[in-house]
Amino acid sequence: MTLVLKSSAFNPGGPIPAKYTSEGENISPPLSWEGVPERTQSLALIVTDPDAPDPVAPRTTWVHWVLFNIPPDVASLAEGTHGLPKDAKQGLNDWQRMGYGGPAPPIGRHRYYFRLYALKVPLKHIKDPTRKGIETAMKSHIVAQAELVGTYMKAKHVTRAWGPQISGGTHS
C-alpha cells in the first residue's frame, strides 16, 4: 500500500480554509494518513510554501511547520497543535517559533506542501530542529513519502494595475 496523506479540511490542490491561516485561528488543519510501511519507526511532517514571497517571482521556500518523531502507530493529527502525540517534537518554522504558522501570503495565491515522511529510525539528538536540520537527519532513513498540496490567497487584497493580486502582510 502507498503512503497517503489527506485532510478533512480541504481537498488535494484545493483552497485551505481561512480558519487554518493567519486570517483565521492560525491552527493546523486536521491531517490523516494511511499506508505506513511496516518497518517505519517514526514519521516526520514538513509544511512549506515554495511561492514566497510572490508566486509570479518566488525567491524562497517558507517553512510553516516542522514536526518529527511522530510514532508510527499514529494515523492522524487533530486540528491545532496542542494535542500532539507522545514523543512527537516540533521544530522551528521560518518565524523562528516552534509549531505551526498558517498561510499568510503577502501577494497572490500560494501553494502549501504538506509532506509526510515514514522513517526507519526515530530522529534523536537533533541539534538543529529546522527544516534543513530535520531533512539532513532523515536523508538516508526515508522509507516512504506522501504529499498533500493546498492553496491560499488572503481575502483582503489589492489589485495591481498590471496584474496579480497583492495582499497585506509580510510573510508567506
The pLDDT assigned to 168 comes to 41
| pLDDT of residue 53 exceeding 80 | yes
| pLDDT of residue 157 exceeding 90 | no
The pLDDT assigned to 147 comes to 98
The pLDDT assigned to 34 comes to 98
Domains of the chain and CATH, by start:
4-167 (3.90.280.10)
pLDDT digits (tens, 9 = 90+) for 77-102: 999 977 799 999 999 999 999 999 99
Amino acid at 150: G
pLDDT digits (tens, 9 = 90+) for 101-148: 999 999 999 999 999 999 999 999 999 999 999 999 999 999 999 999
| pLDDT of residue 166 exceeding 60 | no
The pLDDT assigned to 161 comes to 43
Q: Classify residue 1 as exposed, middle or buried by CB count within 10 Å of its CB (0-12, 13-18, 19+).
A: exposed
